[in-house]
Chain A
Amino acid sequence: MTAAGPNDPATGATLPSGGNGDNGPFNGAGPSNGSARPDGALESAPIQAIRLRHPWRTVLAVVLILFLALFILDAARRPAYDWPSVAKYIFDRRISQAAVNTLQLMVYSMVIAIVLGVILAVMRLTPNPVVKSVAWFYIWVFRGTPVYVQLVFWGLLSVIYQNIDIGIPFMKPWFSFETNAALNTFTLAFIGLGLNEASYMSEIVRAGLLSVNRGQEEAATALGMSWFQTMRRIILPQSMRVIIPPTGNEVISMLKTTSLVTAVPYSFDLYTRSRDISAETFNPIPMLIVASIWYLFFTSILMVGQYFLEKRFARGVGDRQPDRVVAEADPTVSPGPGGMR
């Protein structure tokens, strides 16, 4: 017997015509949901087949593990790696401080890059041709020159502009400060990295914005939303799903690009610091290992963070990660077997 019952109380259909109270075939009482077929035939036995075996997968895994074990055993005894030095320097104060500096450079420059990138991407898509050209010009300059060259330029900022005045041109400035005193090499380093990265981020964000169905913009416009409201509330949130994976890429890439700040010159980041130490000890290899371990540690954390961000923005779209509310609420949504209430 199918459960053709009043299990779905009329949900307050107050339209005069009514008749909407039962949700059609979605009240979980359809014949397809029953465990027995309406014609009374017995259900067939569930399939119990012998699983297909994949012997070559096992062989490949064993061979690779053997090679890895050999490599590790060999590396452990090789003097050039100098593991005692690695152990000695991995938590050295200078190194851990440099690791924190690197992390700060990455975070600050990515904050600049993401905020400015979103602004530039939105600017490029406005109907306003003036604003559009400004964004285009910015991307043309900052994406068109090497980041190393830009960092050297930022380092020379105080040579080009000795003083920075803020105020109305040709009038007495409100604030005036000496460039050298106001902007140290750390600040110049993350500004330089951030402004360069913004040009790449803006293209990533633009791709995301363009990926959203045009019907979304139309629906929002038809509801009376302004262009800017439509962008902020409808288009941008939906584009996040497309934006996040390449942005994760950029964050990890930025963590490593911080090793270029020696061009500013800023010398307290992870890579430059470990090179400086090995210049004293004449033993570069263990210091490279130390730096690599720290970089790997940070990128691993970033990858975990990306996973959770992606999950957050898959709301309502990613059926692979169904939302909690829906998962609890209903066997009715997916009319699979056993969906009888």
Chain B
Amino acid sequence: MTSMKTPDDVSRSEVPMVLADRVSKSFGTNQVLKSISLTVKRGEVMCLVGPSGSGKSTFLRCINHLEVVSAGRLSVDGDLIGYREANGKLYELHPKEAARQRREIGMVFQLFNLFPHMTALENVMEAPRLVKGLPKAQAEQRARDLLARVGLADRSDYYPAHLSGGQQQRVAIARALAMEPKLMLFDEPTSALDPELVGEVLDVMKGLAKSGMTMIVVTHEMGFAREVADSFVFMDGGVVVESGKPSEVLANPQHKRTQAFLSKVL
């Protein structure tokens, strides 16, 4: 009963940001994730790397409950995702509860998924106003600050169609940050970009990492992983093949599959 007496914030700081315990996911008979166990600490930047079809994107989508886990437990900041556990039984969460969990988890997509009928500013303002009920003036001020932060202060009145891919992705990052998430998920954020636009998005992500944000990044940018990530996880066929410090894994991969993959991308 002593843990009950501990102040909430103290006990929280000891809880890892993301805790995956033997997480599995199947689509029909196709098992995409096979008993994944991972821990992401507060403020940690983890890079998830692997060939396409290895399950890394699916794992990311499970973290904010865009996909439902088939087996195992997945929790963010101590909260079980998608379920409530009581008396040894799991209860499915009401969609409202699931939405409340998602608010605190920002997500950035490969294809940006900006709202095309809204300007950059409106894209960033929308969720705080609608979901958090922030007054318009306050939401706009915050949106302008965030757009400035990603270097797009002068593009706030542009529609996504009139922005370059790199600019769109930076707006998407600002949009996710507007909800003040405690965890950011990046699903191949630079894979759809022209090579010369990749840098501007990675720069924003580096800045975010330095500011102490907890991040899980699915990426093929090994330079980014080496420079920014605290941990490096290589996945293949739905399992974690190898993990460790990025400098160590990249320089000296232990597993054959990792060696083969890295020899192709490095």
Contact = CB atoms under 8 A, between A and B. Distances in A.
Contacts of A11: 148, 151-154
Contacts of A219: 107, 109, 113-115, 172
Given A224-B99, A224-B100, A218 B109 contact: yes
A19 B164 contact: no
Interface residues of B, number: 57
A15 B117 contact: no
Contacts of B157: 325, 329
Contacts of B107: 219, 222
Given A223-B175, A316-B118, A19 B127 contact: no
B238 interface: no
Contact of A226 (B99, B166, B199): B99
Contact of B119 (A215, A216, A225, A316): A316
A257 to B, nearest CB: 32
Interface in B92-113: 95-96, 99-100, 102-103, 105-107, 109, 111, 113
Interface stretch (A21-29, A40-48, A186-194, A269-277): A21-29
A241 to B, nearest CB: 9
A12 B204 contact: no
A219 B107 CA distance: 8
B203 A225 contact: no
Contact of A215 (B106, B111, B130, B149): B111
Interface in B158-206: 158-162, 164, 166-167, 170, 172, 175-176, 179, 196-197, 199-200, 203-204, 206
Given A13-B151, A15-B203, A15-B207, A223 B113 contact: no
Contacts of A316: 116-119, 159-161
Interface of B: 64, 66, 95-96, 99-100, 102-103, 105-107, 109, 111, 113-119, 126-127, 130-131, 148-155, 157-162, 164, 166-167, 170, 172, 175-176, 179, 196-197, 199-200, 203-204, 206-208, 210-211
24 contacts: A11-B152, A11-B153, A14-B148, A15-B151, A15-B210, A16-B207, A16-B210, A17-B206, A23-B155, A24-B197, A24-B199, A25-B196, A26-B164, A26-B167, A218-B109, A219-B107, A222-B176, A223-B175, A223-B176, A316-B117, A316-B160, A322-B162, A323-B159, A329-B157
Interface of A: 11-21, 23-26, 213, 215-216, 218-227, 229, 233-234, 237-238, 313, 315-317, 319, 322-323, 325-326, 329, 333
